[in-house]
């Protein structure tokens, strides 16, 4: 009979009963196998000694509390999607791009409410997103109603917060999880007050030169109104800020009142010229924002051109913007209907996102 | 609330409950695996919590492969950290020797630091699979559990373990000053 292999000899040290009877019989009568086992037994003993560590007590209950605790912990322990720190400037830039575009295209009569009725894509580059100026450097925002998202609430609770019914998906793509999480946010209002001194100081601190704020803009205000909004998330929400990753849920369906902006003390042309002349706003981005058709009724959707392609699509009988592609990595559709902004997106194909969008009731 | 809505909310709560149960049942073992690699209880807890969060983000807590997934992830994550900190440890070692020279028992302190450094450095040099087998087995997993975690047949574990132990001893011996 052939000699026992090293694996069998090694296992015999830990589990003498795990070998077959013929193997055992051979081992008992084979000096060579015994000698080999002696050698590997010495290695095993030494490895065990080398890997010995002081006993440590691990408190699972405390660790669980640590993992699920968060300053703004929602009811069932879910957290907002976590972004890598390096992506946060991009998201902040994206938010600014939206505000900038909304402001820059606000009504000619700025005292009237800006009320978008349709959407259009505005291409932005990664570099532009990173270099867009921080809006907080141009003044101060005061929230009269703080954004207070509630996550992991029931459908009824979400509808109560939002004040409208949750969008119902009539045609759910195959493979989408039946795990559903509702989130909602009540209406948020804030006042942004321009400050020429703050803008100049912030620019000087960064060694930049910015245009002088037009007369009348310093101290003037923008009144921002956003929401209420309701989100339906299919699939597991990303959790844990230690994970350090942003995972797109399988499907998000969101509905919100269209945002509105009113302004005092400055004309929209002055606003547009001033904001689009800031460092970090490329001539191309400025031209794209100026080229938007009807500035009083159009919500520009900034589209990072390196990460997403965009196209105009017909959805729910109106024009919407579709982002992403058909690879399934990520796609979204955004449209405005009846004074509400709708968003359907997730880790699905663009065709699936459009189908879901058209099936909403 | 409609029946479908109630069913979905129940599913969310069930998932959360299942995760909590999984966490509390396996945390000590997962942290123990990481500690076996890192010899640092606090860093091991960081690894364990990171592993659980990653699992929860990607999988259902009631998955049959939950425990093996966690064990393997703990071993690999800790080994990756070990490889990443080799350079840093070298600096700390030099500092520890300096500190040890001022301690009450300088010889023992220096030797302990030296032993731990050599073992971790040797472990970081082993190929991923044998290193994981070695760590999981040293953490008390059975041959069957190690095989499930690594994704190989139980019959292969003895061979992988034997090779890993021989390689570890060789690496440690190589790193020992004459």
Domain ranges of chain B: 3-86+118-175, 87-117
**B28 confidence band (pLDDT: 50, 70, 90):** very high
- Residue in A46, A4, A83 with CA at minimum distance from that of residue A244: A83
A62 in reach of chain B (CB within 8 A): no
Q: Which residue in chain A has the smallest CA separation from B61?
A: A236
Which of B53, B160, B163 is opposite residue A240, by nearest beta carbon?
Answer: B53
A50 in reach of chain B (CB within 8 A): yes
Given a cut of 90, is residue B143 above it in pLDDT?
yes
A9 in reach of chain B (CB within 8 A): yes
Residue of A20, A60, A160, A181 to mutate, testing the B interface (most B Cβ within 10 Å of its Cβ): A60
Measure the CA angle with vertex B127, ends B124 and B131; round to 5°: 65
Chain A / chain B CB contacts < 8 angstroms: 149
Burial (CB count within 10 angstroms: exposed 0-12, middle 13-18, buried 19+), residue B60: middle
Q: Residue B161: its pLDDT value, please?
A: 93
- CATH architecture entry for B3-86+118-175: Up-down Bundle (1.20)
d(CA A195, CA A221): 10
pLDDT digits (tens, 9 = 90+) for A325-347: 656 567 888 888 888 888 888 87
Contact A43 B156 (CB under 8 A): no
Q: Residue B22: its pLDDT value, please?
A: 93
Structure token digits, residue A53: 């560590």
d(CA B107, CA B93): 14
Q: For chain A, which ranges sit under pLDDT 70?
A: 1, 69-135, 236-248, 265-269, 280, 289, 292-309, 325-329
Q: Residue B91: its pLDDT value, please?
A: 52
Q: Residue A149: its pLDDT value, please?
A: 76
Q: What percent of chain A has pLDDT over 90?
A: 5
Contact B16 A77 (CB under 8 A): yes
Which of A14, A179, A243 is opposite residue B57, by nearest beta carbon?
Answer: A243
Residues of chain A with C-beta less than 8 angstroms from the C-beta of B16: 76-77
Given a cut of 50, is residue B49 above it in pLDDT?
yes
Question: Mean of the pLDDT values across residues B132-160?
Answer: 92
The residues in A 117-146 lying below 8 A from B, measured between CB atoms, are none
Residue of B12, B125, B156, B157 to mutate, testing the A interface (most A Cβ within 10 Å of its Cβ): B12
Q: Which residue in chain B has the smallest CA separation from A5?
A: B159
- Whole-complex ipTM: 0.78
Q: Residue A274: its pLDDT value, please?
A: 79
d(CA A76, CA A51): 40
Residue with tokens 């004309």: A267
Report field, pTM of the whole predicted structure over 0.80 = no
pLDDT digits (tens, 9 = 90+) for A108-147: 333 333 556 666 666 666 555 556 666 677 888 787 777 7
């Amino acid at each position: 009979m052939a000699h026992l292999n090293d694996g069998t000899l090694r296992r015999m040290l830990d589990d003498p009963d795990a070998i077959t009877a013929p193997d055992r019989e051979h081992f008992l009568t084979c000096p060579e196998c015994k000698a080999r086992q002696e050698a590997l037994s010495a290695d095993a003993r030494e490895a065990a000694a080398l890997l010995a560590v002081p006993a440590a007590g691990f408190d699972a209950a405390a660790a669980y509390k640590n993992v699920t605790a968060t300053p703004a912990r929602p009811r069932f322990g879910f957290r907002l999607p976590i972004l890598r720190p390096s992506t946060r400037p991009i998201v902040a830039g994206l938010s600014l791009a939206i505000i900038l575009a909304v402001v820059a295209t606000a009504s000619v009569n700025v005292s009237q409410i800006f009320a978008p009725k349709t959407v259009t894509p505005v291409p932005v580059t990664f570099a532009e997103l990173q270099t867009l100026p921080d809006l907080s450097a141009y003044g101060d925002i005061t929230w009269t109603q703080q954004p207070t998202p509630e996550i992991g609430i029931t459908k009824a609770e979400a509808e109560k917060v939002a004040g409208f019914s949750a969008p119902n998906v009539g045609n759910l793509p195959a493979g989408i999880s039946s795990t559903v999480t509702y989130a909602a946010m009540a209406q948020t209002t804030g006042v942004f007050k321009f400050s020429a001194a703050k803008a100049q100081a912030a620019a000087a601190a960064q060694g930049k030169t910015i245009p002088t704020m037009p007369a009348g803009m310093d101290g003037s205000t923008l009144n921002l109104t956003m929401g209420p909004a309701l989100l339906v998330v299919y699939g597991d929400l990303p959790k844990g800020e230690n994970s350090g990753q942003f995972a797109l849920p399988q499907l998000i369906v969101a509905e919100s009142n269209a945002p509105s902006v009113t302004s005092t003390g400055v004309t929209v042309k002055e606003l547009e010229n001033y904001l689009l002349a800031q460092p970090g706003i490329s001539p191309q981005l400025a031209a794209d924002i100026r080229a938007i058709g009807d500035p009083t009724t159009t919500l520009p959707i900034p589209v990072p051109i390196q990460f997403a392609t965009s196209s105009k699509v017909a959805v729910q009988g109106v024009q919407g913007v579709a982002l992403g592609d058909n690879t399934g990595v990520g796609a979204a559709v955004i449209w405005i209907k009846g004074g509400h902004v709708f968003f359907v997106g997730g880790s699905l194909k663009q065709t699936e996102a459009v189908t879901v969008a058209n099936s909403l009731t | 609330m409609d029946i479908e809505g109630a069913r979905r909310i129940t599913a969310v709560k069930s998932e959360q409950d299942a995760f909590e149960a999984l966490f509390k049942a396996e945390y000590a073992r997962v942290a123990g695996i990481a500690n076996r690699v890192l010899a640092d209880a606090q860093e091991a807890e960081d690894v364990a919590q990171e592993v659980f969060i990653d699992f929860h983000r990607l999988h259902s807590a009631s998955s049959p492969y939950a425990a093996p997934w966690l064990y393997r992830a703990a071993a690999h994550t800790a080994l990756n950290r070990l490889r990443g900190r080799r350079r840093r440890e070298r600096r700390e070692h030099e500092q520890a020797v300096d500190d040890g020279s001022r301690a009450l028992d300088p010889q023992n302190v220096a030797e302990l630091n030296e032993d731990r450094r050599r073992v971790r450095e040797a472990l970081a040099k082993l190929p991923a699979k044998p290193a994981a087998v070695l760590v999981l087995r040293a953490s008390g997993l059975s041959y069957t559990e190690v095989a499930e975690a690594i994704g190989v047949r139980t019959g292969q574990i003895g061979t992988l373990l034997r090779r890993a132990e021989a390689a570890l001893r060789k690496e440690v011996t190589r790193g020992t000053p004459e």
